[in-house]
Structure 1
Amino acid sequence: MSNGRWNLNMLQDLFLPWEVEAIMTIPIARNVGEDKWAWNWTNHGGFTVKSAYYQAMEAKKTQATSTSKSVGGSIWKRLWHSSLPTKIKNFGWRVLHNGIAVKANLLYRGMGEDRRCPVCGEGDETIKHALTLCRDARSIWRLSPLRMEIQEMEDENVSQWCEKLAATIVQESWWEIFWNLLWGIWLRRNAWIFKRKQVSVKDLIDKAMRFTIEYQAAKESVKDGLRSEGPGKKKWHRPREGSLKLNTDAAVLAGGMIGFGGVVRDSMGEVRLACCGRMDGRFAPDIAEAMAIREVLAIAGAAGFREIILENDCLKLISQLKKHVLENSSFGNIVKDILDYVQAFNVVSFNHICRSGNTVAHNLA
């Protein structure tokens, strides 16, 4: 750790890629207190019977997945309840039921004459070949964050392969990455056949990772009311005369990065300070917003500002800062950091602003 952030180069030297990914989801509080117990399966870190019951049911489902022999059982339930767009879930259902239009399936139904893979030309294009055994598909799985070496599956079909992986990929984010990669391989195949467009292996992996993060962030923002707005667009309003207003925002970027931005403006709307930066880490949206406030507040304090109105579009965060609520969680630790920073100011007030009124800070992030 350095300056409240993970040392990415050191982590990459010491841990495997998937371990680094997991570590980078843990935000670091700068004012570390005493160790305390926290329940991992609630946002606030407190135990509830409901969360324990839910986890018991999930464990039961996972066990059923590892022993299930039927397609469309536990693996389909897990896929359907994943944080994935409906189009990818429907694609997954067709994959599990041998229902996508590869050449072998088309020929079986009396359409077409050639079974050869149009991408590599080295074998019959079955679903198994197109998504796993094709030369480029093997490269994608090997170079992706999943680091999978695809072996010849002999009598095993794709649905059985997916069931086996479902038993080993416990973390939901990796399960979602797996399906986004499968979807990307299929789209890449179609782009070559119908448009003669060659999508590089690197671009496909980057797009799958970026899509996984952005889709999850969008769902979380809706769930937590981070971007809740009334009808119509709402604009930023200048503070009263003699006051300064600080707007902050965070953005989830490609490559496991979080962007932050902040701008201080006076009663005339003139910019008194603007800043932006990036942090390594794959944080939940609410944590990213809290870390953005922490970073920008420190910069504003170093610039000499002591009386500000702080605005952000994360309703949950602003609500807890106003009420001085400290969850027993990573999010609560960052909120405590912010409240500690505030002690160095003369006056700080917190306001929630709708997404459309926070565009300058958003563009900086």
Structure 2
Amino acid sequence: MAMIAKQGWRLLTEANKLVSAVMKARYYSDSSVLNVKLGSNPSYVWRGIYQALEVVRAGARRKIGDGEDTMVWKVPWLPDDSHGFIATDEYPQLKNIKVSSLMSADKSWDVDLLNDLFCDRDVDLITRIPIPLRDTRDSCSVEEVMALQLPNKISNLVWRLCKGCLPTAMALASKHVDIDVRCPWCHSEIETDVHIMFLCDFARTVWLTTRVNHLVQCTMNESPCQIFTRAFENGTREQCVEIAMICWSLWNRRNRWVWERINGSVFGVRHSAINFLAEWKEAQVRDEDRRLRGELGRRVWCPPKEGWVKINIDAAVFLDGSIGVGAVIRDSQTKFVIARGRKIAGAWRPREAEAMALIEALSWVMAKGYNHCVFDTDSYELATACNGRPGEAYFGNIVMDCIHMLKHICPVLVDFAYRSSNSAAHVLARAVYSMSDTGEWVVTPPKFLTHVLDLDLN
């Protein structure tokens, strides 16, 4: 299933290839591969791809650039994991409009138009999407079913389950291995991946002791990939992690019985899964803390090198969905130079808000003509993305805009800083909530920043 779904994904992302053009002309000439119908007299190849498209639809989202290539009602482009399509009923006279029609000339959403056309849910999701400053075409991104924060060997097991390559008795027999295909536990059914993980009496008993039993109800005709996809659609990420851990523990128990004749109880299977996940998470926290203490930033604010300026930046997300961004510039002599704060309407997520704070600071610094700049942010993810791989989805779009702007400042650095050494920008970002307009202070800092700036020097 996963291999065939990959072909569907290629039809979606590689539309300029000959095979994509042929398929589009034959089966979906006036629509998208994501909402195509089976059609009349389909080939065996197309039947297979059509069935596997459910896997693609579960995670595929259109990433908005200039909006010229994306239909408003026919493509999943909203940042909603469970339903990426517009929920508002389609207007017959507007059925073929593009997302670009919802944008203003200044590369922002036309909020008045959105409020007139769409329900509150759609307006909220649309305004969360940042519009790139560069001329960028729309593209596709996908959230993999296996994209969970898990130990590598658990992720590998989930991947093998979804690919259908777990070495169960039935899988080995299909490769002409002379083996008893019956389940080693119940001895009454053929051992397939779905049976050993979900349908065997012992497996059912294990799932009944968990909080995710309702998410793994299935039949012998379903594949593990379909089960995981349904779990993603109906459950939380934490529940999906628990499902993966229980699957690993069940497979581990099966192997210990087959190869060592060591049996395990229902309690033992569940206890092993929970304990292993807890130990792994604790190890990740220790490693991250050690890495941060050893490699990243400083606990206290430090001035830049002679001839440079340091720009501390931060963002604050408010209850109404808007954000406040703040930037404070100081020189190598620790003197306050200038600060700026601004409120931006919309419905932003924290990491996108941090990236927007950097874009605002870059635009401001470029307008002022500064060079030899160090930008300090307390978002490790943003600092890493600017110095390495930008990432996917809308956060990646904003970071690419940042990287493009950074090329116009020479020399320049983007560094991680602890919150304790970034407190001036943090206070300023929160303070702009009560401001009616953009605030800018030159030479003399605002009163609410004076105490914070003094603490940075002590």
TM-score by length of 2: 0.40
Asked which structure has the greater CA Rg, the reply is 2
Quick one: higher RCO (CA 8 Å, sep 6+), 1 or 2?
1
TM-score by length of 1: 0.49
